[in-house]
Structure 1
Amino acid sequence: MKCRICEQGCTIPEGSTGICRMYTVRGGEFVERHPDAYLTVMPVSIETVPVLHYSPRAKVLQVSTVGCTFSCPGCISEVLIGDPDGIAGALRHRSPAGMVERAEAEGCSGIVFCLNEPAASFPTFLRLARAAQEAGLSVGCSTNGYFTEEALNALIPHLDYMNVGLKGVSDGRYRACGAAHAAPVFRNIGLCAAAGVHVEASVMYLRGGEEEVLGAARRLVGISPEIPLQVMRFVPFGDACAGDEPTVLESEDLCRRAREILPFVYLFNSPGTPCLDTLCPRCGERIIGREFYGPMGARTVWARSSPVCSCGERLPVRGAIGTECFDEPGLLGGYRTTRAFEMVRAILACLGAGDGAALQGFWSGIVNENFIGGMHDRIQTIDGYLGLVDDIGARAGRQEEAAALHAWLSDRTEQVMVAVAGSDRRPRLYYSMGTPLFALNAGRFEVCLAGTAGATVVNRQIPRKGKPGVNISSEEFLALNPEVIIVSGFLSAPAEDYLRFCHEGGLIVDAVRTGAVYTMPPGWDFGSPRWVLGLMALAATLHPDHCAFDLDEEERAFYRRFYGVDPEAVNHNRSFRGTTVK
């Protein structure tokens, strides 16, 4: 029997499944395997979907299931789609009426399906959309847009807005994701726009893929110049290749080029960028100001009361602009939740625990919202992280392996603490992400590592908080005057770009004068147990006379012990040493 929901057009034999593994055939009937069963249900701000031009600052109920009709390399939601059978035990049944009640109880103005592909749970989403619409709630989704016309026409009457995640503009980019053609996606964008659905598009930007982004802008402007395009700077999750990550400066330059084609182009995954703001296309006045707010997310920090510029131009922003933002707690909300899953998998990898049926019970407990929400506080200190290792080991039946990892991390941490205790100075250190003017929160794990490595971390002088940090002014940066600057290994930037930004912007502090700017390798300061390598590298950089660690050997030993490979065999690894620019 042929599936008629997406353009993959899977032919599914009796008792088997198609590409997404979420449908089967029983007794000659096409059925959904997990109807009305959800993985996550939580209130979020609409900008974390992300949607920028529909009811800014709205609070909506985000829902997800598992499975996807694509298989994209480096997918941020890979844990939700790579093994739907292994994680299906975490799904919980909730009726459409119950979901509407939850949305109303949370004070949400709508319901949005995101994190995984709604086509993988199409009957469930359609029932939910109808119930939400009848209750006066808005309905949205984030999708790859690969619906058949038949399925899309059934959904459109119940859909208010959508974010279509483009893989690029070429068939080659779609084939890399397991699909045949790009044409159905742009056809569907046109159908939705013509039907009055508010459409936004996002596109992943990998280094070397500039024409995929610019080509997408050209295709979209041909449909409607009012469609916003969100450029997602590629971030290497899991074992994705770090060489595919473009710099923030490269990404900002690409966005400016794209804005010459399409008026509303935004840059994500780039802390501190001004390319998240909505500008009047006629006079350039700022209408809505935003800041980076976690992976694939943004937060509105300033907005006019209406989308009408002082020059008289009315911008294509639908719905009322809210006066207050909803701030999701901890790791909840948007793609921060999938980032939490990725951190859990990073620990599992070091414990030698794979995916599959053996971990179904494990994921049922992990997906529990209380665990993910509480995990945020647990991973901000070394002791908390060690406790998380023990907890995950117990849940996965890998207590012995967890004890070995715990002991390794504890031993190296103790070595660092003893070594730096012999130094009589603590250099002033500033921890930033991406650009100089985006400071990590004082309570972050990276700041804890730097303090443990013997630094006085000036981030603790900044009272404001964001996710995972906040924009600061040039004046604040100059007043902090750090002697050493560390650029986070997540959403990173080359030291060369960082110094160039500082010199061009007049951000001349002691660290810039001496070139003491270092970029962490991915996973060396947050999320992965590899943070122990970052801790030792920090200590050796800050206190070379007291920390005579053989960092190359420590790296080899860690990779051999917990990954079973040499670090040279892992293409995303890059050394912390030598990244300073003198």
Structure 2
Amino acid sequence: MKCHICEFRCNIENSKIGSCGMYQNINGQITERFKNSYLFVNPISIETQPMLHFFVNHKFLQIGSVGCNFKCEGCVSNIFVKYIDIYKNAFKKLSAQEIVQKALEENCKGISFGINEPTMHYFSLLELAKIAKENKLLFGISTNLYYTKESLFQLIKYLDFVNVGLKGYTKETYRKFCKAPDSKPVYRNIVYLFKNNVYFEVSIVYSKGVENELINVAKFLSKLSKQIPLQIMRFIPFDKASGELEPSIKESENLVEELKKHLDYVYLFNSPGTKYLDTNSDNFDIKRSFYGPMGAHIISIKGKPNCIIGDISKKDYEEDGFFGGYRITRALEMVIGILNALNVTDKKTIASVITEILKDKTFLNFFHETQDDINSNLENYFDIVELLAKLSNANPKKLIDFYKEILDDIKLKRKKIDKKLKSYYVMGTPIFALNTHRFENKLASFVGLEVLKLEKEGKPGINISKETLISYNPDIVFISGFISCKTEDFIDYCQNHNININATKYKKVYKLPFGWDFGSVEWIFGLMYIANVAYPHIYNFNIESKYFLFNNKKYTPLNKSFYTGIG
């Protein structure tokens, strides 16, 4: 029997499962394997979805689960796509009415489905969308839009907004990057949304070498309307994707300028500190900042809107810790990295641990606080290791002893520091400062460096003025190994914006290797790296030999044990 929900149109035999793993044929009827089953039900700001021109700054209830019909290398959600069955016992079973009731209790403007692909939950969402509309709640989805005509026809009457996640423009690109037969159904469905007056924004990943694809996307959209917002998601090498595909922020900003020749509103994500997250028009201005992978956050709004759908909320909403948007994917990747370091690779055991974690928000709150809280320190990381070891029946001693030996060595040697250097830890461009108490700055502080004290904080930091940076005048700069920028781009930015600081003057700008700072089980190597370059007359760690002891392999940018898969 054929499944007519997405354009793969799987032929599913009785009692068998489709290629996506989410639908099965039961006595001649296509049914969801996990109906009304969700992993996440959390309030978010709509910019976290992300939607930038739709009911700006309003709170929505975001729901998400597992599964996808595409197989995209380096997808931020792969941890919820590739390992469907390990989450079975972690699902929250919630009826459509229960979700609507929660949205109403949270005073949400509407409900949005994100994190994984909504075509995987077609019947659940169709029912939910109907009840949401009956209760005067807005309803929308983030989707690859690979619906069949007939399935989208049923759903479209209940959709208020859509974030369309494109993978490219041509058939060849879709076949190569997401193993989909053709791109035509997606572009057919975009036209269908447009003709049916469903508000949508378009997002697309930008990796090196696909510039012409993005230009063709912009040209296609401009024929419908030059005012369709286009969100450029700078490629970040999640999962096991190659870091060589990651374009620099500077390259991405140049592409945005090219795309603006075709569309009025083009935005750049995954690029902390960029000005290309802002909306600028004659009488209206919105300033936004980076807010975690694929997310944005409102800084200020001025003037009268002329390009926004719906009213603008005057009340900000900020999600807690790892909750909301794609930050949860980072949290679970960190957990799996620690389990790998504890030599826990059995799928059944990992599934059991993840089930325990997702059942109770307490763990993820604890996990976040031990790394990004004013009262935590590096030794608190051992508490996470010990808890995960307990849940997986592993022995944490070898891993903790490895950490402790290096920490004790640093404690002893840092007594020799007679004058602390001022350090500055950034993510992306020079003006995006990481939170004072974030894990990266704890690394810098531990080796004996002074860190910039911010009056306000964000997720994972905030934009600061160039005057603030000049006034602080750091002696040494560290660029995060995650969502990063090149050292030469950092220096060029400072030169072009007249930011004269000691760190650039004396060429003390260092980019951390991928996976060697926040959250990664390999943060200990970032700590040694920072120590060596900050105070070379005091510290002299042989990082390569330590790395081999830890991983039994040489370090290369491709040995990303932090993102090691499950089983």
Do the structures match in fold with TM over 0.5?
A: yes
Mean Cα deviation higher: 43-52 or 2-11: 2-11
Residue number in structure 1 paired with 2:192? 191
Where do 1:336-415 residues align within 5 Å?
336-354=327-345, 356-368=347-359, 369-380=361-372, 381-397=377-393, 399-400=394-395, 402-415=396-409
CA distance in 1, matches of 2:413, 2:15: 62
Q: CA deviation at 1:286?
A: 5.1
Q: Does 1:224 align with 2:225?
A: yes
How far does the alpha carbon of each residue in 1:214-244 deviate from its partner, in whole angstroms, 9 at most, with x for none?
1211121122222111000111223321111
CA distance in 2, matches of 1:17, 1:412: 50
Once superposed, what is the RMSD of the aligned Cα atoms? 1.5
Residue number in structure 2 paired with 1:440? 434
Q: Does 1:570 align with 2:558?
A: yes
CA distance in 2, matches of 1:417, 1:541: 17
CA distance in 2, matches of 1:38, 1:137: 19
Identify if the C-alpha distance between structure 1 residues 569 and 56 changes in structure 2 by more than 3 Å, giving closer, same or farther: closer
Q: CA deviation at 1:37?
A: 1.0
CA distance in 2, matches of 1:555, 1:137: 52
The one-letter amino acid paired with 1:333 is G
CA distance in 2, matches of 1:216, 1:533: 41
Residue number in structure 2 paired with 1:215? 216
Q: CA deviation at 1:346?
A: 1.6
The one-letter amino acid paired with 1:570 is L
Q: Does 1:463 align with 2:461?
A: no
Unmatched tracts of structure 2, length 5 or more: 562-567
Q: Is the 8 A contact 1:36 1:93 kept in 2?
A: yes
CA distance in 2, matches of 1:142, 1:568: 35
The one-letter amino acid paired with 2:65 is T
Q: CA deviation at 1:305?
A: 5.4
Where do 1:179-578 residues align within 5 Å?
179-280=180-281, 283=282, 287-304=285-302, 306-308=304-306, 315=307, 317-354=308-345, 356-368=347-359, 369-380=361-372, 381-397=377-393, 399-400=394-395, 402-457=396-451, 459-460=452-453, 462-560=454-552, 565-568=553-556, 570=558
SS in 2 for 1:122: helix
Identify if the C-alpha distance between structure 1 residues 181 and 432 changes in structure 2 by more than 3 Å, giving closer, same or farther: same
Q: Is the 8 A contact 1:83 1:355 kept in 2?
A: no
CA distance in 1, matches of 2:238, 2:400: 23
CA distance in 1, matches of 2:545, 2:184: 51
Q: CA deviation at 1:558?
A: 2.1
CA distance in 1, matches of 2:436, 2:316: 22
CA distance in 1, matches of 2:267, 2:506: 34
The one-letter amino acid paired with 2:192 is L
CA distance in 2, matches of 1:245, 1:572: 15
Residue number in structure 1 paired with 2:24? 24
SS in 2 for 1:567: coil
The one-letter amino acid paired with 1:48 is T
Q: Is the 8 A contact 2:285 2:303 kept in 1?
A: no
CA distance in 2, matches of 1:75, 1:395: 28
Identify if the C-alpha distance between structure 1 residues 355 and 111 changes in structure 2 by more than 3 Å, giving closer, same or farther: farther
Identify if the C-alpha distance between structure 1 residues 356 and 127 changes in structure 2 by more than 3 Å, giving closer, same or farther: farther
CA distance in 1, matches of 2:410, 2:170: 50
Q: Is the 8 A contact 2:544 2:554 kept in 1?
A: no
Residue number in structure 2 paired with 1:165? 165
SS in 2 for 1:421: helix
Q: CA deviation at 1:279?
A: 1.9
Q: Is the 8 A contact 2:5 2:122 kept in 1?
A: yes
CA distance in 1, matches of 2:367, 2:217: 38
Identify if the C-alpha distance between structure 1 residues 476 and 321 changes in structure 2 by more than 3 Å, giving closer, same or farther: same
CA distance in 2, matches of 1:233, 1:125: 29
Q: Does 1:133 align with 2:136?
A: no
SS in 1 for 2:203: strand
Q: Is the 8 A contact 1:210 1:254 kept in 2?
A: yes
How far does the alpha carbon of each residue in 1:510-553 deviate from its partner, in whole angstroms, 9 at most, with x for none?
11110100001111011211110010011111111121211222
Identify if the C-alpha distance between structure 1 residues 18 and 370 changes in structure 2 by more than 3 Å, giving closer, same or farther: same
What is the percent sequence identity of the aligned residues? 38
How far does the alpha carbon of each residue in 1:381-432 deviate from its partner, in whole angstroms, 9 at most, with x for none?
31222111111122123x21x3321221222222222222222222110111
Mean Cα deviation higher: 169-178 or 424-433: 169-178
Q: Is the 8 A contact 1:7 1:147 kept in 2?
A: yes
Q: Is the 8 A contact 1:242 1:572 kept in 2?
A: no
Unmatched tracts of structure 1, length 5 or more: 309-314, 574-582
Q: CA deviation at 1:70?
A: 0.6
The one-letter amino acid paired with 1:495 is T
Identify if the C-alpha distance between structure 1 residues 129 and 294 changes in structure 2 by more than 3 Å, giving closer, same or farther: same
SS in 1 for 2:151: helix
SS in 2 for 1:275: helix
CA distance in 2, matches of 1:362, 1:134: 39
CA distance in 2, matches of 1:201, 1:174: 16
